[in-house]
């Protein structure tokens, strides 16, 4: 599974109206992948996404940065199918890999 792209998309959906806490992000991630992310997957992804300026942490909640918003928007331009969006996001994130 493409964990970083999965969590990025979950944050995008979870924080659409207001920043989302970890429980909300996990719930949305479960809806996307029919799997709840482990604590390690969630925290590793959040750290990576924050490090690459795609997500902003506001105390105990998270939202997309402008970079994150642009990546998600770009991934949704050609399809509304979740798996295709995730594949596109994963491709876009390759350019940020350490």
pLDDT digits (tens, 9 = 90+) for 7-19: 999 999 999 999 9
Domains of the chain: 3-96 (1.10.10.10)
**H helices within 1-98, ranges in order?**
3-14, 22-33, 39-51, 66-75, 82-93
Q: Give the model's pLDDT for residue 93.
A: 96
| Cβ atoms of 12 and 58 closer than 8 Å | no
| 25-28, Cβ contacts within 8 angstroms, sequence gap of 24 or more | 25/62
2 pLDDT higher than 80: yes
Residues 71, 2, 23, 27, Cα dihedral to 10°: 90
Could you tell me the pTM of the whole model? 0.94
CA distance 81 to 85: 6
């Amino acid at each position: 599974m493409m964990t970083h792209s999965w969590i990025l998309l979950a944050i995008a959906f979870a924080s659409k109206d207001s920043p989302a806490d970890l429980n909300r992000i996990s719930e949305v991630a479960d809806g996307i992948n029919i799997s709840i992310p482990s604590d390690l997957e969630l925290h590793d992804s959040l750290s990576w996404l924050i490090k690459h300026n795609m997500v902003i942490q506001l105390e105990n909640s998270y939202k997309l940065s402008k970079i994150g918003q642009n990546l998600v928007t770009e991934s949704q331009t050609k399809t509304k199918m979740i798996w295709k969006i995730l594949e596109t996001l994963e491709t876009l994130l390759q350019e940020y890999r350490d």
